[in-house]
Amino acid sequence: MQNVMPNPGFGTFRLEGDTLKQSIHAALEAGYRHIDTAQFYGNEADVGAAIRDSEVHRSDIFLTTKVWFDNLEPATLKASVDESLQKLGTGYVDLLLIHWPSPNNEVPMADYLTALKEVKAEGKARHIGISNFTCEQVDEAVNILGKGEILTNQIEVHPFLQNRKLVEHCEQHGIQITAFMPLAVGKVMDDPTLKQIADAHHATPAQIALAWVKQRNMITIPSSTKARNIQSNIAAFDIVLSDSEIAEIAMLDRQERIANPDFAPAWDE
């Protein structure tokens, strides 16, 4: 299961139009083969167009999208997936995620996860998974879908929010972690510890943060609009951190959560 998802992926949150297309082309040229989008991002049509316009064949790209929480009622979920596929211009996605668990369990988890599995059975998604699910919600999801059905839980992970309890819980279930916001929206660039480690490797603090995520056996999906940064992000995966450097980064955890909307679940401490 570890090798199903190409690592790193390219995140497209807040990217649109020509900027998005140029960024995806730069990412594909740099060697990325995993593109991450979502219904909520409002850019699925642009993502699909960029993939079609590239020289990389669709079958060589691992494409992820996510169902927004107001589309979780089963019939609505299925219709929304058809709409996503139409916008993306593809007959299937490689990975289909539930973007957020239903707020206050408004739609029962069994209802929307069963619908998600049915979409997969119809060939519209090669793999299915979850995003922003807590330990308790992961347990419930595994009980509903069965072991081995959930490919990933996509969650916020960076040096300042290491999310160890949830990460270990998912790993016990055989669920791969996908770390979003690995650079803590740029905050890693200003951290003295990461700067010091970066200097030792002739690298940037961003590259150190990405190398750290990789050494924790996670997939990650950094985003950038600059070709130079897109290339340096993928080059970060060649960096190997020492045990002492990993231990220094472990000390940076301060439970600093960036993605925390009012409909978020009750997070694990």
Catalytic residues: 41
SS (H, E, C) 69-107: HHHCCHHHHHHHHHHHHHHHCCCCEEEEEECCCCHHHCC
Tell me how far apart the alpha carbons of residues 201 and 223 are, in angstroms, rounded to a whole number.
22
- DSSP class of 186: G
- Residue 134 CB contacts under 8 Å (≥ 6 apart), including other chains: 101, 166, 265, 266, 267, 268
Which token pair is 167? 């990460």
Count other C-beta atoms under 10 Å from residue 116's C-beta: 28
Which token pair is 19? 């900027």
Whether the CA torsion 38, 43, 45, 49 is positive or negative: it is negative
Tell me how far apart the alpha carbons of residues 192 and 198 are, in angstroms, rounded to a whole number.
10
Burial of residue 40 (number of CB atoms within 10 Å: 0-12, 13-18, 19+)? middle
In this structure, what are the phi and psi dihedrals at residue 252, rounded to the nearest 5 degrees? -85, -10
Whether the CA torsion 166, 172, 177, 182 is positive or negative: it is positive
CA 189 to chain centre: 21
